[in-house]
Structure 1
């Protein structure tokens, strides 16, 4: 079944993710006939933090499934408007979640391909009149059947009225109308800048009913992300290394708050792995534990 994505002039108020006060009540996927859908949902749920983000995606999943059941009973179904604004600092999982949404919607029949085309201002904005519209149309063409993900989308409105960014916005709005059954547009960027950007064009806010806030990770969540990254690579912290790793994260956040979030953790993890390799490569008779263990000296 294909779920039709349409636009309405009487769109509901913006659906905004809210801080979680308790664990969300999630749909039961055990009876799903699509194993790939179950795997994608499991992958989503395995992400550290992002509880309010997960809750909204689960709600969208349930809504699509109920639409299918209502259609079978020849009941009216609500049209889906899935263009979305992702707001949050770098490294909070926006691109990762966008990729998961594309795969999920493909398996559910919402999108025929579910692929994601990632771009930014330089990929959309040209150097002369008419150039921008052509560049934007080419990217839209590549994204048909999937998701067009525009990072730092607010930069399209930074140059004022005479800037070619406005031409890109106009071309995107037209593409959303021309391909309303075959394209999802996700705009991403810092929260304050994205809120201001949406207000620059009267037609933008009504076309993006879904606003998802990606909160910064807590120190505990950053630690969990680091341990998850190591586990995935078949490494582990020694007890003392774990203490030092946490302290380094805390110190970095104190100097540069939220300087990359999960990206910062990944950089720390990869650096520790490289330093472990330098420490070990001349040593003979290494055990499996030696090859897996990240020690304090590899971090400090």
Structure 2
């Protein structure tokens, strides 16, 4: 996706061609754009904000492949801006992505962070995340789907359009309106390639099938990220981070009990049911159980309020 400065200039030329602005106004806008970027590829304030956003990602457990990708993208954008400043040719970057992973592996959270990061890097104008699914895109009659999809894309311009369980768009076969949604999306991606990033997300196997069933999609999403299932040790670290942010802590016996519960979930339901979402649900239930336990005490200390005990996981 091109950098913001060149995008703005192209938008000025488009408005001039459409008769929306005068020639004099177009020259003024382009002149202002050049003066704003001269000898200032990335300000110190911008870098500080970018560092804060990257730190938000870095504190997440695991996700080493996405952290590596972000480091590469940040370096690429910085160098392309420097090449522009020194009047060298700069490359554009297509940023549409495929996120493959089970529920609770961090796909939506990472997408939110990327939206903010790409805004600060100058790749996106607004940096918001628009989350949608099949029901938001597919209509009930001919033409309705294209209309709904266009409206969603319009609301996502300047940010990221995040389509969860994207493979469901291809489930109905050629007669289903899901195909119309895909075709409309592909065209709108091309028309708005300078100010829109689309991320398709879903289960690994289903996403593979989805891409195979529509070969044209594969080339339009050059960045593919696998979100691996967390190990039990990583899930414990996620749990500790969750309770710490809420100013709680797990007792040693509670941690051991929690590990056993997660291990049992993995054995009985598989990895797709034992990721960060499961951890959050179990922690929130334990906090409610702790509250029920504490209201029965005559005296409640600060340590009592902060500590989640083994018995708080009894109904997990």
Do they superpose with TM above 0.5? Answer: yes
Q: Give the 3-state SS of the residue equivalent to 1:217 in structure 2.
A: coil
1-side partners of 2:45 and 2:125: how far apart? 19
Separation in structure 1 between the aligned mates of residue 113 and residue 94 of structure 2, nearest angstrom? 18
User: Which residue is 1:183 aligned to?
Assistant: 196
- 1:224 equivalent in structure 2: 237
- Tell whether the 8 Å contact from 1:92 to 1:217 is kept in structure 2 after alignment: yes
Shift of 1:246: 0.7
Deviation (angstroms), 1:78:
1.2
Residue 172 (structure 1) aligned to one of 155, 171, 185: 185
- The residue matched to 1:199 in structure 2 has which SS? helix
State which structure, 1 or 2, has the greater radius of gyration over its C-alpha atoms.
2
Task: Find the counterpart in structure 1 of residue 79 from structure 2.
Answer: 66
3-state SS in 2 of match to 1:165: helix
Give the TM-score normalised by structure 2: 0.85
**1:199–1:3: structure 2 CA closer, same or farther, 3 Å change rule?**
farther
Of structures 1 and 2, the one scoring higher in RCO (CA 8 A, sep 6+) is: 1
CA–CA distance in structure 1, aligned partners of residues 121 and 209 of structure 2: 33
Structure 2 counterparts to residues 17-166 of structure 1, below 5 A: 33-166=46-179
Number of equivalenced pairs: 276
1:266 and 2:272 aligned: no
Runs of 4+ in 1 over 6 A off after TM superposition: none
- Residue 299 (structure 1) aligns with: 313
In the alignment, is residue 279 of structure 1 matched against residue 281 of structure 2?
no
Post-superposition offset of 1:202: 3.2
Task: Tell me if the contact between 1:4 and 1:110 (Cα under 8 Å) persists in the aligned partners.
Answer: no
Which segments of 5 or more consecutive residues in structure 2 lack a partner in the other structure?
8-41
- Check whether the contact 2:266–2:274 (CA below 8 A) recurs between aligned residues: no
The match for 1:213 among 226, 236, 243 is: 226
The answer to whether the 8 A contact 1:4-1:79 is kept is: no
SS of 1:65's partner is helix
> SS in structure 1 opposite 2:100?
strand
TM norm structure 1: 0.89
1:79-101 deviations in Å (ceiling 9; x for gaps) = 11000000011110000000000
- In the alignment, the residues of structure 2 paired with residue 3 and residue 92 of structure 1 have an alpha-carbon distance, to the nearest angstrom, of 35
